[in-house]
Chains A and B, each alone.
Chain A
């Protein structure tokens, strides 16, 4: 199938799609990257497991037995870093859907090698996020009272509560993103099954579901992927919109804002796509053969997306900010004054520097967009900035309310350990997955190789994509 590879001029080989290798070779590269497990890997797994066990579950169980009070929340700030982390990880989870569904629907070809890497982020981001509504509950041992099922208490959840919406939206998103991760994985599982032995063979055999690659199997699978790609996009938008409604439907000054839905979605994609860049950088630096699959063109394309989303984030931010500043009432002005000049104003200002100033000053340059380590630094800063955005919204806005007598400060305590613990959980799950499932969707890359060709137009060769769907 790679006969057209011979007559591709050198200048196009920089692009993965014009640098095809035989499927066999790509399979072997992906398999080898999964099998290569060094000492550093086990150290990382060990340390992360320890952090997860102690800093996340240890501290959480301590708080369950001793009381919420070991966290730093108090009367005006009833939701602390727990909800900040919740919103942050939900945001990270938007990356996978964005990259693999939206870019798939719009046939953006650069998505091909890293759709799976992004979908894994969705799943594990949701795993981290999904814990927080539980960690945050005062009485987590009765969390199941939120689940709608016929029960002896004769009580159903309140379907008018945004928390019930949240619960259903996250359930929907988690289930559908798991299925959406799994469907395109089946052919790759079959590939792994065909070249594994021992326990790996058993696992891949089960997960491949006896996949052979018949016409019928492909036709049905592609139909399902197509339905999923279209349907999961509105689900993704709804999830973060509903998260924003947790705040926006309230009567709180600074939260009650009609712009919160798109503002949150944009912020989520900004931090999610930045996080994809971070993951790709790490994968490329630590896993074998990934320099073939993940190339500078991919960083370049992602960085452009980040720049666009940084701009739209700024647009929504300014919408939200200006209206409060200009026509807001007295409490709104006090609230803004606390953000801009209060004791924690540095968080608000850093948010603006990291989310707007840094990407705008750097990402316009093609040279920067093609320097992975620099992008890693910028993406990290953007994610810090987006984390600060949630800190501002969840913990700083409530400090000022309509009763100056009830104003207050917020200092996180045990939340800090749990936050570190859930970051470790995400990294740990990702680390384990990177050696258990093929991180590159090989069949999608090969399909891309088939679809790309050079067309001679006059005297010039023009890269051309055939629509094979």
Chain B
């Protein structure tokens, strides 16, 4: 991939070393104040997790292997969810080049969710509560969403912003590895790499250029920012 525009953030997920442990899902929930809705609601398709770890079976019995694919918002460069929103509640960030969701502006038409080919968006069907002591876990950096608004993975934009502010205060660029979203931080096998795609020397840029890399539904022209590495025994 050629050097991207300045300020583009990206992610690489190595499916070959992902163990499907769901630690990213949990870390994401803790970082981003994602409510727990219970078994029944989750089974009915109302789980609020911003990441879902898809477990896919490959091969035929008895030669079966489980492949795990964590899917979250792909922060499309040309996001289908954006133009359909009547009130600009979801739009393209000109500085971070990610897909923003403005909770306070959302009126809950749920059109964005219908037009997301990755089914990455979640809707607040109720006012969810955090029973004690979970309420003490709430992250003060992240808005707690009320009922009736859409939400989705933000690439932990609060962490990106903090790092950018600190770097700006010290008069430097954000260093590679300085920003880690909660999922990458929690991943025990280091399968999630995050960083700046506009720096060709960053770890994430190098990984994204790997021959094992592919982007989900890239043929739709959505320009996703997440690269999945999958190649079995082929390493390079």
A and B touch in the complex (CB under 8 A): yes
Stretch at the interface among B116-124, B173-181, B190-198: B116-124
Q: Measured between alpha carbons, how far is A74 from B41 in the docked complex, in Å? A: 9
Contacts A79-B114, A398-B114 given: A69-B46 contact, CB under 8 Å? yes
Contacts A68-B125, A251-B80, A406-B119 given: A158-B86 contact, CB under 8 Å? yes
B45→A161 contact, CB < 8 A: no
Which chain A residues in 130-182 approach chain B with CB under 8 Å? 133, 136-140, 142-143, 145-146, 155, 157-158, 160-164, 167
Stretch at the interface among B11-19, B101-109, B203-211: B101-109
Is A75 interfacial (CB 8 A cutoff)? Answer: yes
Is A197 interfacial (CB 8 A cutoff)? Answer: no
State the Cβ distance, A118 to closest chain B Cβ, in Å.
Answer: 31
Q: Name the one of A137, A158, A406 contacting B85, with C-beta atoms under 8 angstroms.
A: A158
Q: Name the one of A138, A167, A251 contacting B124, with C-beta atoms under 8 angstroms.
A: A138
A250→B115 contact, CB < 8 A: yes
State the Cβ distance, B28 to closest chain A Cβ, in Å.
Answer: 16
Find chain B residues with CB under 8 A from A138 CB: 106-110, 123-124, 147-150
Find chain A residues with CB under 8 A from B44 CB: 74, 408
State the Cβ distance, A356 to closest chain B Cβ, in Å.
Answer: 28
Contacts A78-B113, A158-B83, A158-B87 given: A67-B126 contact, CB under 8 Å? yes
Find chain A residues with CB under 8 A from B108 CB: 68, 137-139
Is A66 interfacial (CB 8 A cutoff)? Answer: yes
Q: Name the one of B119, B126, B217 contacting A75, with C-beta atoms under 8 angstroms.
A: B119
B148→A401 contact, CB < 8 A: no
Closest 3 CB pairs of A and B: A138-B108, A138-B148, A69-B125
Find chain A residues with CB under 8 A from B217 CB: 402
Contacts A74-B45, A74-B46, A162-B84 given: A68-B119 contact, CB under 8 Å? no
Q: Name the one of B47, B84, B123 contacting A161, with C-beta atoms under 8 angstroms.
A: B84
Contacts A160-B83, A161-B84, A402-B217 given: A139-B148 contact, CB under 8 Å? yes
Between A and B, 17 residue pairs with Cβ closer than 8 Å are: A68-B148, A69-B126, A73-B125, A75-B46, A77-B45, A78-B113, A78-B123, A138-B108, A139-B148, A142-B107, A145-B105, A158-B86, A161-B83, A161-B85, A251-B80, A251-B115, A252-B117
Find chain B residues with CB under 8 A from A157 CB: 86-88
Binding site for A on B (CB under 8 A): 41, 44-47, 52, 54-56, 71, 80, 83-88, 105-111, 113-115, 117-119, 122-127, 147-150, 217, 220
A252→B122 contact, CB < 8 A: no
Q: Name the one of A139, A398, A402, A406 contacting B107, with C-beta atoms under 8 angstroms.
A: A139
**Residue on B nearest A246 in the bound complex, by CB:** B111
Find chain B residues with CB under 8 A from A78 CB: 110, 113-114, 123
Q: Measured between alpha carbons, how far is A85 from B41 in the docked complex, in Å? A: 25
Q: Measured between alpha carbons, how far is A368 from B102 in the docked complex, in Å? A: 58
**Residue on B nearest A67 in the bound complex, by CB:** B126
Which chain A residues in 66-118 approach chain B with CB under 8 Å? 66-69, 73-79
B86→A164 contact, CB < 8 A: yes
Q: Name the one of B84, B113, B220 contacting A163, with C-beta atoms under 8 angstroms.
A: B84
A249→B119 contact, CB < 8 A: no
B148→A403 contact, CB < 8 A: no
B119→A76 contact, CB < 8 A: yes
**Residue on A nearest B91 in the bound complex, by CB:** A158
Which chain A residues in 311-364 approach chain B with CB under 8 Å? none
State the Cβ distance, B211 to closest chain A Cβ, in Å.
Answer: 24
Q: Measured between alpha carbons, how far is A158 from B71 in the docked complex, in Å? A: 28
